[in-house]
Chains A and B, each alone.
Chain A
Amino acid sequence: MSVRVLIVDDSGFFRRRLSAIISSDPELTVIGNASNGQEAIEQAKLLKPDVITMDIEMPVMDGITATQKIMTQTPTPILMLSTWTTEGAKSTLDALDAGAVDYMPKRFEDISTDKNQAHQQLCQRLRNLAHKTRPYHIAPPKIVKSVIKTSLPTVSLSRESRALRLVVIGTSTGGPVALQKVLTQLPANFPYPILLVQHMPATFTPSFAERLNTQCKIQIKHAENGDELRAGTAYLAPGGMQMLLKGNGRKPFIEIQASQSTQAYKPCVDMTFDSVAKIYPKETLAIILTGMGADGRDSCHNLHDLGSTIWAQDEKSSTIYGMPMAIAKAGFADGIFDLNDIGHRLAGLA
């Protein structure tokens, strides 16, 4: 059963290009297109696509408003095609807030110099998003429950309460909204510093940090070279770079490194977590939230073996159950929780 895609873009040229790229994937079928937000809502109702690609700037109704409406009327996974510039950051983040699950640059060169590779990436994202039939979107707080019986909340809590010094969170697709949900639950006096690694382009992370900072009680900072860790502050890894923890357990500080072209993720969860493992091998709580791929698995394995605590988001609440699944399948998660539960439990540490 192939994945049915609805294309929304006001440019006929772009619709045709997207259509050609998407149709080239045997698993994807373009079932319709719309040239503005209003049409997109109608088409989404009529055609019930498995996934929608959405442009932002459109006449009649823009993509953000349309996303909002589609998510309330006929929830469908939506992939935003946005401009990866600083200006584009805000509207893309708005779109994610409105319920879009993921975003890709309109200019494919932003993700790969090889066009075919970028096209494949687009198709792969669409396939992945579509497999999540009912997108998880800002659900009301749920009854706390853990999925894995072997790791009861008491166990995990006792483990990190031993000597917790740092919380690290790694995430990718669906991360912006997930982080927002988790971090907004934390009180201003949250007793630990937090390192955040969100796969995101360089042009987006400053806006994202700023936005989180206005939404959360704790401080959120776009991490800078030399930042010393302070309790109640979360440091967001800058896009396009690598964020490492350096120094020693008494006086750790952040080092921002240029990323190598060989590194698939910029920032990379594994790189940050591995550097953390050297400073706080036992005293770290590492959390892997929604995301495609398996970034974070190896470093969590390492942290787990050293004695740190590992949490992963559960399948149900994950936008993309990839990175958390990698942790769960490898069997070193101390807890697998619903997204609401993660925030709740973290807040409980205060």
Chain B
Amino acid sequence: MAALDTDDEILQDFLVEAEEILEGLNEQLVELETQPEDSDLLNAIFRGFHTIKGGAGFLSLDAMVGLCHKCEDLFNVLRQGEKIVDAEMMDTFLKVLDILNSMFDETKSGVFPSPADPVVLNQLSVYLEGDTAPAPVVVAPKETPSGDDITDDEFEALLNQLHGDGAPGIQSNEAAEPIQPPSPAKSGDDITDEEFEALLDELQGKKPEAKPEPEVKAESKMEPPVPVKKAEVAKPEPTAKPAAAAKPAETTVRVDTSRLDDIMNMVGELVLVRNRISTLETALEDEEMAKAVNNLAVVTGDLQTAVMKTRMQPIKKVFGRFPRVVRDLARSLKKDINLELRGEDTDLDKNLVEALADPLVHLVRNAVDHGVEMPDIREAAGKPRQGQIILGAAQEGDHIILTIADDGAGMDANILRSKAVEKGMMDEESALRLTDSESYALIFAPGFSMKQEISDISGRGVGMDVVKTSISKLNGVIDIKSDVGVGTTLSIKVPLTLAIMPTLMVMLGDQIFAFPLVSVNEIFHLDLEKTNVVDGQKTIMVRNKTLPLFYLRKWLASTFNETDKSQIEHVVIVNVGTQRVGFVVDQLIGQEEVVIKPLGALLQGTKGLAGATITGDGRISLILDFPELMATYAHREY
């Protein structure tokens, strides 16, 4: 096959749009299965295929055109209510989406997409045939005067004759199709229904088309996920005079994400400079200077938000794949599950969207596989047969909360505890001391599986420990709540963006360290009298909860002296993965937004450090990576 120019902007433009549409189709098709007669939905899906076909046609991606054309035709029939989609047809459509996906991949790698699986094309044709059933009686004798013995070749010739040579679109499609097997329904005829239909179309023109009804709902769903793109549908300002309107109409440009990353980095540098200047300014006590610095701070802040916004994408981009994931999995497990998506429009940093995709898929699969019970079991337990999984996203301040909630069997903390002992992860005594939520957190420990046998579902993709690691990498925190018989709710808290991080600056000895603020739970003064030693581990009681307490100085500062200890210390409670831990620090400096810089070659690979940054007073501060820190120094997995 000939090569495509993948650098071609037009091709890229097409792929971006087509993939968006494909994601939408994925979602809409699954939705359609529950509402097979929703005409807005049918119209939207029809248009989706129609638009991809149009674009593919523009680029001469014939295989794609052919496939989409068939689907478009079929949805044209469906939206006129002449047929209703069933589960089997849905499987075929979903297969079509998979094929389209691989066609996109082929296109991306610079080759013309290979023709679609004839079995699928065939299947689509079979579905298409059924709809004009009443007519054959009338037309058959007319076109096949000799009765019945018309061969395929003859028929092709006849069709070609009818077509003339002016219908390249149609012909290329038909060329791509294998010869249709006779439909079982009308075995009496020697010409197939598919051919019949083509014939009918030629003879009587096409059946009336329903006019699409206005559909506000579908429209909002089709909205492009990247906010930048919204600008393109924005109306020109009413004040624009015709002369001014002469400027090019498209208001969007495509920008390489790496360029956005560069801009973000530079804004980061600017933030550091601003921090530096405002620190210097406080020493000057010059009013004019203070004003200017304040201005700088405001502008920098605005710039930072603006740049961040260009990188924002709705979480929908990830959520969009879940209806399909849940449907397929539930079908293969013979479970009945309804997935509800909430807060799909929540925006977050593009990098985060991508980084969250895999962990979320795993957690959702887990909820389907381990969370929701089989319909019969549910019924026996007095629950509706259909299980419910809610996937939600919401913004809370400068972080995003993602929740995966199921109304399944829930987890029994005691079983988890005994399992941990059984696996030799801890002794019985420590297991008993685990709180319920600590026990739930055990599911994230490597090698900890609740299922006796590993199903192909849980066996696929990343393990739960990998999920936890990747969430922690994003400075994310996982929280699990579970009630036996009621269900499990898993919430993940991640910062809005990875590029600029709000931190809490603390002093250890004469060194500044930065705690990612998203992990910081609370700060208080501690009377050291109130610590206890449990199992050789110093602990504190915070609101009746025992938390392990560590002296960060011991780990990180070179000049640690036990005698330096004062009676009252500052303790920062930090969320590490699913746990809360207290750290004793020497001094609290305050909150500061920082940009993470990689560590220099000398420090590269130092455990427990996420990177470094420059503080307002020009000093270098190390940013802590708590999960790694704990693993390295406390010899505990968190």
Chain A residues with CB under 8 Å of chain B are: 2, 4, 7, 10-17, 19, 23, 29-33, 35-36, 38-39, 42-43, 46-48, 57-62, 64-65, 83-87, 89-91, 106-110, 201-203, 206-207, 209-211, 238-241, 258-259, 266
Number of A-B pairs whose CB atoms are under 8 Å? 166
> Could you tell me the distance between the alpha carbons of A19 and B215 in the complex, rounded to whole angstroms?
26
Cα of A46 to Cα of B240 in the assembled complex, Å: 10
B309 to chain A, nearest CB (A): 20
What is the CB-to-nearest-CB distance from A60 to chain B, in angstroms, rounded to a whole number? Answer: 5
Q: Are A16 and B164 in contact (CB under 8 A)?
A: no
Closest chain B CB from A107 CB (angstroms): 4
Of B54, B76, B245, which one neighbours A47 at CB under 8 angstroms?
A: B245
Is the Cβ of A64 less than 8 Å from the Cβ of B203? Answer: no
* CB-defined contacts of A238 to chain B, threshold 8 Å: 164
| Cα-based distance from A22 to B462 in the complex (angstroms) | 50
Query: Do A84 and B235 touch across chains, with their CB atoms under 8 A apart?
Result: no
Q: Classify chain B's interface size.
A: 35 or more
Known: A47-B236, A210-B205. 11 other contacts (CB 8 A): A2-B246, A10-B47, A11-B17, A11-B54, A14-B54, A14-B58, A16-B13, A46-B236, A57-B46, A57-B212, A202-B164
A62 to B44, CA, bound (A): 12
Give the residue of A14, A48, A85 whose beta carbon is less than 8 angstroms from that of B55: A14
Q: What sequence of 0s and 1s flags, for each residue 237-252 of chain B, a beta carbon within 8 Å of any chain A beta carbon? A: 0100010011011101
Q: Please name the residue on chain A nearest to B224 by beta carbon.
A: A12
Report the Cα distance A202→B232, complex, angstroms. Answer: 36
Expressed in whole angstroms, the Cα–Cα distance for A160 and B43 within the complex equals 53
Complex Cα distance, B245 from A33, in Å, reads 11
Residue ID in chain B nearest A81 by CB atoms: B54
Given contacts A12-B17, A46-B236, A87-B209, whether A108 and B58 have CB atoms under 8 Å apart is yes
B82: A residues at CB distance < 8 A? none
A107-B57 contact, Cβ under 8 Å, with A62-B211, A91-B209, A202-B164: yes
The answer, yes or no, to whether B204 is at the interface (CB within 8 Å) is: yes
Query: In the bound complex, how far is the Cα of B16 from the Cα of A61, in angstroms?
Result: 24
Distance of A10 Cα from B47 Cα, bound (Å): 9
By the criterion CB–CB under 8 Å, are A4 and B242 in contact? yes
Known: A62-B212, A90-B205. A85 touches B232 (CB 8 A): no
Alpha-carbon gap, A207 to B215, bound state (A): 28
Bound CA span A177–B17, Å:
36
Write out the residue numbers on chain A whose beta carbons fall within 8 Å of the beta carbon of B57.
106-107, 109
CB distance from B48 to the nearest CB of A (A): 10
B58 to chain A, nearest CB (A): 6
Chain B residues numbered 154-187 whose CB sits less than 8 Å from any CB in chain A: 163-170
Q: Is B218 an interface residue (CB 8 A)?
A: yes
CB-nearest residue of chain B relative to A6?
B249
**Given the complex of chains A and B, what is the CA–CA distance between A209 and B235 in angstroms?**
41
Is B255 an interface position by the 8 A CB rule?
no
Considering the complex, give the chain B residue whose CB is closest to the CB of A23. B248
Q: Is the CB of A110 within 8 A of B164?
A: no
Contact with A31, one of B10, B235, B245 (Cβ below 8 angstroms): B245
Q: Roughly how many angstroms separate A137 CA and B248 CA in the complex, as a whole number?
A: 31
A79 to chain B, nearest CB (A): 16
The complex places the Cα of A29 from the Cα of B249 at a distance, in Å, of 9
A12-B222 contact, Cβ under 8 Å, with A57-B47, A89-B206, A110-B168: no
Determine whether the beta carbon of A17 is less than 8 Å from that of B169. no
CB-CB under 8 A from B170, the residues of chain A are: 85-86, 203
Task: Give the most central of A33, A64, A107: most B CB within 10 Å.
Answer: A107
Interface string of B241-273 (1 = CB under 8 A from A): 010011011101000000000000000000000
Partner of B233 from A31, A35, A90 at Cβ < 8 Å: A35
* Docked CA distance A200–B18 (Å): 31
List residues of chain B with CB within 8 A of the CB of A38: 214
Contacts of B204 in A (CB 8 A): 206, 210
- Interchain nearest-CB distance for A130 vs B (Å): 14
Cβ of B263 to closest chain A Cβ, rounded Å: 23
Residues of chain B within 8 A of A33, CB atoms compared: 232, 249-250
Interface residues of B in 40-93 (CB under 8 A from A): 43-44, 46-47, 50-51, 54-55, 57-58, 60, 73, 76
The closest CB in chain A to the CB of B229 belongs to A12
Residue among B55, B169, B222 having the largest count of chain A Cβ atoms under 10 Å: B169
Q: Does B14 contact A (CB under 8 A)?
A: yes
Across-interface contacts of A58 in B (CB, < 8 A): 47, 212
**Across the two chains, which residue of chain A brings its CB closest to B217?**
A59
Contacts of B412 in A (CB 8 A): none
Residues on B with C-beta less than 8 A from A62 are 211-212
- Return the chain B residue nearest A35 by Cβ: B233
- Does B219 lie at the interface of the complex (its beta carbon under 8 Å from any beta carbon of A)? yes
Can you list 19 residue pairs at the A/B interface with Cβ under 8 Å?
A2-B246, A4-B242, A12-B224, A13-B17, A14-B55, A17-B58, A29-B246, A33-B249, A57-B47, A60-B219, A61-B214, A84-B169, A87-B201, A206-B205, A207-B206, A210-B205, A211-B205, A239-B164, A241-B164
B202 within 8 A of A: yes
Question: Can you name the residue of chain B whose Cβ is closest to the Cβ of A106?
Answer: B54
B208 close to A (CB within 8 Å): yes
Query: How far is the CB of A200 from the nearest CB of chain B, in Å?
Result: 9
Docked Cα-Cα span, A201 to B164, in Å, equals 10
Residue numbers in A under 8 Å from B47 (CB-CB): 10, 57-59
Q: List, in ascending order, chain B residues with CB within 8 A of A36's CB.
A: 219
Cβ of A107 and Cβ of B55 under 8 Å apart? no
Nearest B residue to A61, CB-CB: B214
Which residues from A are CB-within-8-Å of B232? Answer: 12, 15, 33, 35
Rounded to whole angstroms, the CA-CA distance of A62 and B57 in the bound complex is: 21
- Most chain B beta-carbon neighbours within 10 Å: one of A59, A65, A106, A266: A59
Q: Which residue of B lies closest to A20 (CB)?
A: B10
Nearest-neighbour CB distance to chain B for A109, whole angstroms, equals 6
Q: Is there contact, CB below 8 Å, between A42 and B206?
A: no
Complex: A12 Cα to B44 Cα, angstroms? 16
* Cα–Cα distance between A238 and B163 once the two chains are bound (Å): 10
Contacts of B601 in A (CB 8 A): none
Bound-complex Cα distance A16 to B250 (A): 7
- In the complex, the answer to whether B55 meets A13 with C-beta atoms within 8 Å is yes
**CA distance in complex: A241, B170 (Å):** 17
Contact of B211 among A14, A64, A202, A209 (CB under 8 A): A64
Using known A-B contacts A87-B206, A258-B164, A266-B166, determine if residue A13 contacts B13 with beta carbons closer than 8 Å.
Answer: yes
- Residues of B with C-beta under 8 A to A2: 246
Q: Are B215 and A202 in contact, with the CB atoms below 8 A?
A: no
Chain B 191-226 interface 0/1 with A at a Cβ cutoff of 8 Å (1 = within):
000000000011111101101101110110010100
